[in-house]
Amino acid sequence: MTPEDEAKARVRLERGVRAQAILDDDITREAIEALKKRAYESFKSADPGDTQALAIAKMRFEVTEDWVNHFASLMQKGKQADAALAKWHALPARRKRTA
């Protein structure tokens, strides 16, 4: 791992930690649930023949899910970066060079 790779991994790790904190925040959870509920209510109240209203309701739900999935992806990349950094710093050759 080059110093540049290590710096990039640290950035991914920090972004993952921040993404986790955002998703764990009570206000964020409330907002996600409210958006999903509104999308569901829009879908439920739409006339079965109103394809535009149904498509908009579906899109609202999908956008909310995409937003959550983006943060989940950042969290996963952060975990992978954390594992790579831990592995890198555990290597005997790495310890010899820094000692």
Helix (H) or strand (E) holding 89: helix 51-90
94: number of Cβ within 10 Å = 13
Angle at 29 between CA 33 and CA 80, to 5 degrees: 120
Contact yes or no for 64/35 (Cβ under 8 A): yes
How do the pLDDT tens digits run along the chain, 99 residues long?
788 988 999 999 999 999 999 999 999 999 999 999 999 999 999 999 999 999 999 999 999 999 999 999 999 999 999 998 888 888 776 554 554
The model carries a pTM of 0.75
Dist CA 3 CA 80 (whole Å)? 17
Contact yes or no for 28/19 (Cβ under 8 A): no
